[in-house]
Structure 1
Amino acid sequence: MIEELLPTQVSSAEAFADPPDAVLFAEEEAVIARAVDKRRREFTTGRWCARRALERLGVEPAPLLPGERGAPQWPAGVIGSITHCAGYRAAVAARKDQVHAVGIDAEPHDRLPDGVLDVVSLPTERERLVRLSAARPSVHWDRILFSCKESVYKAWYPLAREWLGFEDAELEFGEGTFTARLRKQGPPVDGRPLTGFTGRWLARDGLVVTAIAVPRL
């Protein structure tokens, strides 16, 4: 699924179940030594996907240890993103000299729990969701919005190295696409201030997947 949302410069891999042969480096094992089984399976399969994405770039396997705010530390010259939810894990990777930033997210295609939408959205976004839901009631637009904002944060943080709240990006949706207008000052990208992101979304087979990639000019 995820490869449908990405440009050719970005390598990807995904899994719909946890491979029984997936193993970790010793350094990664140490990170999750006390983790519960669910967390261990998410972590292990996420790294399994990441190594396959790296392999497709021609990059040797290496431990992917959590860094700032828990984000994976990728090999030198590489950027990437990992996501997981029930029944799905995925990872993407790209070379820094080709892509500035990537961010992916996966969620179950179901409505958000009560009260969450008010926390993660702006009033203008909620107005748009009402119209979208009236036109396409089979789509859980609240969950898509949440997933898109998760992808926005994952693309933003490696560039800015600072927090981006749910209220700091305003989303609008197209047919399988979205735009995120930043409501705070962004870092320079290709010599110009970053003002937003464009991305893509897909809702299929009980899942929502979203992705952002910012290729270099």
Structure 2
Amino acid sequence: MRRLPRFAAANPARADIVCRVPPLLTAILPPSAVAAERRDDADPAPLFPGEAAAVADAVDSRRREFATGRLCAREALRALGLPAAAVPRGDGGAPVWPPGVVGSVTHCAGYRGAAVARAGDLAALGIDAEPDEPLPAGVLDLVAGEGELAGLPDGGPHWDRLLFCAKEALYKAWYPLARRWLGFEEAWVTLAPDGTFTARVLVEGAPVGGGVRTEFAGTWLATPGLLLAAVAVPTG
């Protein structure tokens, strides 16, 4: 059962009650996953030594967004009933989660988020956040295959950016399973206006549950100025 956040109506007579809005990611994650998010880097977020090494040479803004992402990761771990722990970067830049945990971290302008689940519930989990605006000139040709965006309705989110977002979420779920790079051209994503998408990997699949998986299902959400996508891989 999903761990629901606590809600309270505004009541100036009860200053001890905290109103917590559920993370946006909750809407596109399965019940076995939990999430945490921030909209800026205002909260101090000290890093564990193994985490700090990943951004030791980065500019201040990059260190701050990285630290806020790790803060979200620790909050998500606690929501899962686990203690806060270091989440260093591993091979390929993927987060290294505590044993028995799968998860993903994302950040873009105005948003940082993390989602986790127990490895017994999900084999892998990938999330991505992007601004709801067109891709820079020339990027769509690198991201999309011919006809990959065909048939989508006019209006709604910026479908080109959403395709990029979905493929990033796919990659974050794919890499911990396959342990190899996946290029944009190596996956075909079909976006649906109902908030779902399917992804087909065009190379050798990833090992999952004793088999090899090449088909993945995902979900997406568009809110004012922000796109979110998630790929949760079942263990079976």
Question: Could you state the TM-score of these two structures normalised by the residue count of structure 2?
Answer: 0.86
The answer for the alignment partner of 1:87 in structure 2 is: 110
* Residue in structure 2 matching 1:204, options 219, 223, 226: 223
Q: CA RMSD in A?
A: 1.3
Q: What whole-Å deviation, never above 9, does each CA across 1:28-70 have from its counterpart, x for those lacking one?
A: 2333233211101110000000000001112211211111011
Say which structure is richer in helix.
1
- What's the CA shift for 1:137? 2.3
**CA–CA distance in structure 1, aligned partners of residues 121 and 200 of structure 2:** 23
**CA–CA distance in structure 1, aligned partners of residues 184 and 44 of structure 2:** 37
Asked whether 1:66 is paired with 2:89, we answer yes
Q: What whole-Å deviation, never above 9, does each CA across 1:118-174 have from its counterpart, x for those lacking one?
A: 011100214x1xx32xx3324210000000000111111111111111111111121
**CA–CA distance in structure 2, aligned partners of residues 192 and 102 of structure 1:** 18
Amino acid at match of 2:218: G
The answer for the alignment partner of 2:174 in structure 1 is: 156
Q: What whole-Å deviation, never above 9, does each CA across 1:52-102 have from its counterpart, x for those lacking one?
A: 000111221121111101111111111110000000000011111111010
Amino acid at match of 2:157: V
SS at match of 1:94: strand
* Residue in structure 2 matching 1:32, options 52, 55, 63: 55
Amino acid at match of 2:208: V
SS at match of 1:35: coil
**CA–CA distance in structure 2, aligned partners of residues 105 and 79 of structure 1:** 15
Amino acid at match of 1:2: L
The answer for the alignment partner of 1:125 in structure 2 is: 148
- What's the CA shift for 1:206? 0.2
Which of these two proteins has the greater Rg computed from alpha carbons? 2
SS at match of 2:114: strand
* Residue in structure 2 matching 1:195, options 214, 219, 235: 214
The answer for the alignment partner of 1:184 in structure 2 is: 203
Amino acid at match of 1:154: K
Amino acid at match of 1:194: R
Alignment size in residue pairs: 212
Comparing 106-115 with 59-68, greater Cα deviation is found at 59-68
Asked whether 1:50 is paired with 2:73, we answer yes
The answer for the alignment partner of 1:21 in structure 2 is: 44
Q: Which runs of 5+ in 2 are unaligned?
A: 1-23
Higher relative CO (CA 8 A, sep ≥ 6), structure 1 or 2? 1
**CA–CA distance in structure 2, aligned partners of residues 29 and 185 of structure 1:** 35
**CA–CA distance in structure 1, aligned partners of residues 207 and 86 of structure 2:** 30
Comparing 160-169 with 33-42, greater Cα deviation is found at 33-42
**CA–CA distance in structure 1, aligned partners of residues 120 and 189 of structure 2:** 28
CA contact (8 A) 2:43 2:68 kept: no
**CA–CA distance in structure 2, aligned partners of residues 7 and 170 of structure 1:** 23
* Residue in structure 1 matching 2:33, options 10, 15, 21: 10
Q: Which runs of 5+ in 1 are unaligned?
A: none
The answer for the alignment partner of 1:110 in structure 2 is: 133
SS at match of 1:62: coil
